[in-house]
Amino acid sequence: MRGDVPAVGLARDQEQRVVGGFLWALLVLLLASNVVDSLRFGRGYLQPSVVAANLAVVLFILGAVHLNRSGRTRLAASLAAGLLMLAASALPLTQGLADSAPSLLVFFVPLVTAGLLLDRFALRVTAGWALAVVVAAPLLHGESLFGDGGDGGVWYLLGPFVMVFAFVAFLLDRFGLRFKESMREAFLSQARAQAELLEEKGFTDAIIESLPGLFFVRDRAGRYVRWNRRFAELAGYSDDELRSLEPLALFEPASRDVAAAGIERVFSEGQATAEVRFMGRDGRVHPYFVSAARVERSGRQYLVGTAIDRSDIDAARASIESLNVALQERVGRLTALRDIDRAIIGSLDIGLTLGVLLEQVTSRLRVPAARILLYDEVEQALRFGASHGLAGVGARGLRVALGQGPSGTVARDRRRVVVTGRGAVAAVVGVEEGAGFESYVGVPLVAKGRLQGVLEVLHDQPLPESDDWHDFLDALAMQAAIGVSNARLFEELERSNVELRLAYDTTIEGWARALDLKDQETEGHSRRVTELAVQLAARLGLRGEDLVQVRRGALLHDIGKMGVPDAILLKPGKLDPDEWEVMKSHTTLAYELLSGIPFLRSAIDIPYAHHERWDGTGYPRGLKGEEIPIGARLFAVVDVYDALTSDRPYRRAWSREKALAYIRDNAGTHFDPRVVDAFLEMMGEREEPARVAARRDPRGGEPGGAEEPQD
């Protein structure tokens, strides 16, 4: 696994160190042995063959050291073991136990080395090689292996050695290799833990060094025990000097009381923050914001602090404030555009829209004055529209032709024009009103490809060079153009609607007069019943468009008689049943005529249903009670009253009192009682017209009795 790689490397390093120590120990042992022998035997020991043999062994050991350093640890250990065995085989074994025992003990060194450093195969090979050398050594020196006669020979010494050697080899084979593996695993675990600690330490050090500000740790006595590179650079002291500094030496004298109080709070409360000024070795002062906390380790308390350069904080604050100002400016501009939109949507009064627009222009663009000139397409000239920050009195009659001056140039070319200089601006606006303004900018108001006017902005300073300012001016000009265009379209539409309504109403009145002229006996009837019907409708609570429809329906109540033959319509006497059926069809004819005209469809109730009766006996549909439209119910009362009080070919006019009595008597049968009450109340407030009194029968009665009136 990846996590074991550092541990395995550490284990290999440990093996290299062990084998290296073993090799250097052999070298030292060899040199010491030669020194002892030279002192013991004198010059006789320094024979060329001995010197050559020792030099060869030294070179052999140094070669093994080089192999070990190159990473070939096992080969180096094997060479060292073989060297020991060769050296041991060269020693005589018959000089007595005291002299031969060291030679024999040397054979255990490669055996143990192979068992603890190498593997099982190396152990067995080393054991076999060592035993072979021990057996062959006496033969090489011409000694007797078993002795002659009573002499035990070399085997007397080798017998116990071979048994002990074999027993040691057995123990190493059975238990030594397991011990080696256990030790290796233990060492690998230790190496892993050490590697993890080193990795964590490296990671922690990297974090500390990467902190944007200062980092330091100090004990309760005020001694610094750890810090990052930035802290050392700011202080300007060496590591040893930092460790021996006075507790408050790194603080400016004026900040030492604050620092001391903060340190005390950390150790008493656990944490603290403060703004202090550090002073380095060079005497320079650095403002910092310090945050510190108390940390305990091994029963000792430490202060761990981090510090951020306050100049960075101040710069960040300034940047945030600048962003806030810019954000508020943008929000304000969006609010201005929204307010203008509301003014455009909420009111189609062009004066109100221009007032809101100019107020937003002056406040958001921070200019003292602004003006709007509206374009008159008929005259092809600019006229005064509205102004803010200017008196405007002298500009009411202003007229600027296309191409005349900066304003006319803006309108003609539909492009922005800028004028600078107090004199030049005064000439544009007017000497009196333009005095004191340093700059002028005119922007065309164009909506849907049509010129609506010119927005003029006046400033007592040079115009800002910011693109945002000019872009916002263009946005305001676009909003202004839309507002002016919408207001003008509404005015034109409203004017067209008024003209159309007048045309319709004039046509309706013309139809009513035509009907009256056709029947001279009923001349003026439509006008009279219309006036009474509108008054009665208002008394009953009808308002607005409902009154308009009552008026139109009253004027057109007999429009269906245009389809009745004149022989029936103008007959001087009573109508026979067949003729009466034809006459009654005028309500259906009115419905068929008016239902095809959308404008008059809402006024169809009176022409179609004014002959319906409250008790359901009327025509053409036999409606009853409140099934009859309110307009038809109130008009029925007015129509019957006017018919009764007017002369007809078949009878004379009734008196006012007689007609009102008839209306009262037929409430609940012919007429709506509530409408009758309102009508009688209204008529009680009116004076009897003189013309009705003049038409009364000199006998004081009305011909025809109380028979049903025919209109």
**Got the DSSP string for 657-691?**
HHHHHHHHHTBTTTB-HHHHHHHHHHHHTSPPPHH
Least confident interval from 65-69, 340-344, 396-400, 653-657: 340-344
- Confidence band, pLDDT 50/70/90 cuts, at residue 298: confident
Over the stretch 193-210, which tens digit does the pLDDT of each residue have? Answer: 777 878 888 888 888 888
Least confident piece of the model among 14-18, 98-102, 295-299, 359-363: 98-102
Please state the rounded mean pLDDT for residues 349-366: 77
pLDDT, tens digit, 9 for 90 and up, residues 91-121: 554 444 344 455 555 566 666 666 655 566 6
Q: What's the whole-number mean pLDDT along residues 7-11?
A: 60
246 pLDDT more than 90: no
Rounded CA separation 459/438 (Å): 6
Three-state SS for 308?
Answer: strand
pLDDT at residue 626 tops 60: yes
Is the pLDDT higher at 136 or at 72? 72
- Mean pLDDT on 71-90: 67
Provide mean pLDDT across the span 417-439: 76
Query: Are 305 and 290 within 8 A, CB to CB?
Result: yes
| Predicted local confidence at residue 6, as pLDDT | 57
**Comparing 12-16, 386-390, 441-445, 563-567, which segment has the lowest mean pLDDT?**
12-16
pLDDT of residue 707: 45
pLDDT at 400: 84
DSSP labels for 128-139? HHHHHHHHHHHH
pLDDT over 80 at 404, yes or no: yes
SS3 for 17?
A: helix
- Among 5-9, 255-259, 347-351, 595-599, the range with the most confident prediction by mean pLDDT is 255-259
pLDDT for position 618: 92
- What pLDDT does 245 receive? 87
Tell me whether the omega of the peptide bond preceding residue 6 falls within 30 degrees of 0, making it cis: no
Higher pLDDT: 230 or 337? It is 230
Query: Residue 180: what pLDDT?
Result: 65
Q: Provide the pLDDT for residue 697.
A: 45
Report, as an integer, the average pLDDT of 153-172: 63
User: What is the distance between the alpha carbons of residues 430 and 346, in angstroms, rounded to a whole number?
Assistant: 34
- Binning pLDDT at 50, 70 and 90, where does residue 150 land? very low
Is the predicted pLDDT of residue 616 greater than 80, yes or no?
Answer: yes
Q: Which of 56-60, 180-184, 291-295 has the highest mean pLDDT?
A: 291-295
Is residue 627 pLDDT above 90, yes or no?
yes
Cα–Cα distances in angstroms (integers) from residue 104 to residues 163, 240, 533, in the given order: 12, 56, 149
pLDDT of residue 527: 82
Identify the band that residue 153 occupies on the pLDDT scale cut at 50, 70 and 90: low
Q: Which range scores top for mean pLDDT: 57-66, 119-128, 232-241? A: 232-241
* Average pLDDT rounded to a whole number, residues 231-247: 87
Residue type, 382: L
**What mean pLDDT, rounded, does the chain reach?**
76
- Torsion-angle region of residue 414: left (phi > 0), alpha (psi -120 to 50) or beta? left
- Of 56-65, 143-152, 613-622, which one has max mean pLDDT? 613-622
Query: Taking 50 as the threshold, does the pLDDT of residue 593 lie above it?
Result: yes
What percentage of the chain reaches a pLDDT higher than 70?
65
Q: Would you say residue 607 has pLDDT above 80? A: yes
List b or e across 531-563, with b for residues whose CB sees 16 or more CB atoms inside 10 angstroms: ebbbbbbeebebeeebbbbbbbbbbbbbbbbee
Strongest mean pLDDT among 6-20, 230-244, 322-336, 618-632 = 618-632
Percent of the chain with pLDDT over 90: 14
pLDDT computed for residue 692 by the predictor = 46
* Residues ≥6 apart with Cβ < 8 Å to 436: 422, 460
Convert the pLDDT of each residue in 68-78 to its tens digit.
788 787 777 77
CA distance between the termini of the chain: 115
Integer Cα distance of 648 and 390 in angstroms:
71
pLDDT at 711: 54
pLDDT at 395 over 90: no
- Residue count of the chain, please give it: 711
Number of other residues whose CB lies within 10 A of the CB of residue 87: 19
Query: How many beta carbons lie within 10 A of that of residue 84, not counting itself?
Result: 21
pLDDT band at 566 (very low <50, low <70, confident <90, very high): confident
Phi and psi angles of residue 702, each rounded to the nearest 5 degrees, phi first: -120, 130
State yes or no: pLDDT of 228 exceeds 60.
yes
Q: How far apart are CA 582 and CA 51, in angstroms?
A: 162
Instruction: Check whether 346 has a pLDDT greater than 60.
Output: no
**Weakest-pLDDT range from 549-553, 566-570, 642-646, 654-658:** 566-570
